[in-house]
Structures are given as C-alpha cells and as structure tokens.
Amino acid sequence: MKAMLKSITPAVVLLLAGLVGSAGAQFYKGKTVTMIINYPAGGPTDIEGRIVANHLPAHIAGKPHIIVKNLGGGGGMIGTNYLGEVAKPDGETIGFFTWNVIAAMLGDPGLRVKYENFALIGGVENPLVFYARKDTPPGLKSPLDIMKASGFNALSLDAQNTNTIHQGLALDVLGVKYKPVPGYRGLKDVQTAILQNEGQLANTSLPGWTASIGPTMYKQGIVLALFQLNAARADGSVKRAAAIPDIMTFEEFYEKVHGKKPSGLEYETLRLLVDTLTSVFRTVFMPPKTPNEAVRTMRAAFASLQKDKTFLADYGKAVKTEPELVTGEEGEGFMKKLAVVKPEIKEFLRGYLKKFEK
C-alpha cells in the first residue's frame, strides 16, 4: 500500500488539490470540523487520530480547524453509531476509527449503522503484536516458552471486539492453555493491567507496541514480544512488517511449534479477520450522505499527507514508525471482502463468540 501511495507524486497531489481546491475553499473556509475517535483518550487509536487532526487542515482548502471528541466503548461501536446516527452529513464531522470487522460481518445489533454506508476517506495499515510477561510461570526466556505456560490470564477488550477474537483464535490455533479475561475499555487499560500483573498476555496494534509498550515494558525487561499478525500479500504469503522485523509472524511461530503450516477452520477464520482488519486498521469515515464535494476534498487532503514531511516526522516521533496510509478507494476494496464470507465461517464465529460472552 505504501508503494502505491508513494507513487502519488507532488504533481498529482497538486492536481487533486486543484480539482477540489476552489470549491473546497468555499466549503470549509471559516468552519470547524469535529473528529470523532471511537476509543478512549491516550490509546493507540487516539494517538494516531490526534496527529492526523493536527496536520490534515493544512491540506484542506479553506483550512478549517479540527477538534477531537473521544467516544469510546462498545468495541468502538458507540463512536461509530454516533457518526452514522447523530452527526450531520454536512462535511463538518469525520470519524477516525478502529473499525469492528466482526460486528460488521455478523450483523451485531449493537452496530446500528453499516460501514459501507459511510464515505471512506482513507485509512492506515497496521499489524498486531502479541506480548506476554516474562515472569509468566514457568518463566519465558524466548517467545516459544509461552507454549509451556498454562492457566494464565489473557487480557482483551469487549467480548465481541476483534482484539479479543483475534487473540483467542490465535492462541487456540496454537494450542495454548489460557484463561480469557475480556472486558477492558481500551488498550491503555490492558497495558496498565499487564504492568500490574493482573494478566500476563495481551495484543496491541503496531503503534501501541512501538510507541508505548516497546519503549517501556519491553525495554525494561517486563514483557516479551511473541509474534505478529499482519495481512497476507497478494500471493498469499505473510511477511514480517518492516517496522518490526525482529518479531516472528504467527505463521513462523506456528511452524516452529508444530513443524507444519497452520490450517483448518479456526485458522481460516483468523486469517480472514486479520487480512480484512489490518489492511485498513484505522479508518477515516464521513457520515452517510455527506456531500460529494466534502468527500472529494477530504480524500485529496488525506492522500496528500503521505508527502507531508512534517506530518511524517510527527507521526514517527509519536508512533516510532512511518504510517502505511491507504487511500479511500483501496480501503473500499478490502472492506468488500466482508460481503463474500463463507457461511461456515460465520456459523463458526457466532459459536466462538459465546466462549467470551460467558
């Protein structure tokens, strides 16, 4: 994705800006735009969203001011519902979300709006990192030692959140014996609980690892990185993310443990969820029926962030890695995968969710 975005030359960005600039300047001049972030302040979604909010106005004709409003809870669905049901489709509200793939796939009644009805402005690709306390009995000296542990607490978010289901599926496919403890409001809360030894294992997004856990708990020798989950390439292969080349992929980890490649319905479900979510992990939406003029202006502005050296420097300083930006058109392609999910995967997933709802 980054290669495609880097192919957007300054001349192309200027052309895009020119196409929407004159009308966009009139549309946004003197206005204030509200950015809804669907997770609590201080977490990875919030950190990235605020960086985008700081730099996006410079790329919007009319240079509106952007203010941030955190609406966390419900696995991100509270903020999502607000954008779809309450926010006016006047171009003055955008959402910076970690979207809930499972809720969308299974038609969760808590998600009262459909992602496909939003206007997708763009997104950010992010892998996931699994980590565990090194003092988890009998003690972890290497990532593979987690296979010797049993009965430890694996902390995660709401019962139907992708954070929880990714974690459960990955550990179950590996054959790890653990106690699931879902229900935390945000990843910052999970990180604090791991630090206080309320739990021993969790997973986080790439920014959560590089900007928060890596420089603190990992550097201090409290936790160990186990493996990463990221999107498969077009040929089906899964490679280590460039930002964390020293952390094994889930597939590498599995082969070291079991001597073969992972397979089966559990793994197929895990791979579908990971491919869909991590390809466009953070999403930037506008409410349904937002005027095309506003959507075109925001899409051009978001795409031009990839060429903004100040934005990239600030993002890198906060997150400790460059963003893998995804255009709105690319993101729509990834989301369409949810329309063709096999019935047996949906049936399996509905039954699997009950494990955490208990």
Specify the pLDDT at position 158. Answer: 87
Specify the pLDDT at position 222. Answer: 98
Residues 217-229 pLDDT 10s: 999 999 999 999 9
> Is pLDDT above 70 for 24?
no
Instruction: Please compute the mean of the pLDDT values over residues 325-333 and round it to a whole number.
Output: 90
Specify the pLDDT at position 1. Answer: 46
> Is pLDDT above 90 for 15?
no
Instruction: Please compute the mean of the pLDDT values over residues 122-144 and round it to a whole number.
Output: 96
Work out the pLDDT band at 357, boundaries 50, 70, 90: confident
Specify the pLDDT at position 350. Answer: 92
Residues 138-171 pLDDT 10s: 999 999 999 999 999 999 998 888 899 999 999 9
Specify the pLDDT at position 2. Answer: 47
Residues 197-253 pLDDT 10s: 999 999 999 989 998 999 999 999 999 999 999 998 878 899 999 899 999 999 999
Residues 69-112 pLDDT 10s: 999 988 899 999 999 999 999 999 999 999 999 889 888 899 99
Residues 39-57 pLDDT 10s: 999 888 999 999 999 999 9
The contacts of residue 33 (CB under 8 Å, 6+ apart) are 57, 64, 65, 66, 67, 91, 92, 93, 94
Whole-number Å distance between alpha carbons of 257 and 147 = 8
More confident residue, 335 or 123: 123
Q: pTM of the predicted model, to two decimals?
A: 0.83
> Is pLDDT above 80 for 310?
yes
Work out the pLDDT band at 354, boundaries 50, 70, 90: confident
Instruction: Please compute the mean of the pLDDT values over residues 171-198 and round it to a whole number.
Output: 95
Work out the pLDDT band at 22, boundaries 50, 70, 90: low
Specify the pLDDT at position 333. Answer: 84
Whole-number Å distance between alpha carbons of 52 and 318 = 12
Work out the pLDDT band at 320, boundaries 50, 70, 90: confident
> Is pLDDT above 90 for 336?
no
Q: By percentage, how much of the chain surpasses pLDDT 70?
A: 93
Domains and CATH numbers, the chain: 2-125+279-343 (3.40.190.150), 128-276 (3.40.190.10)
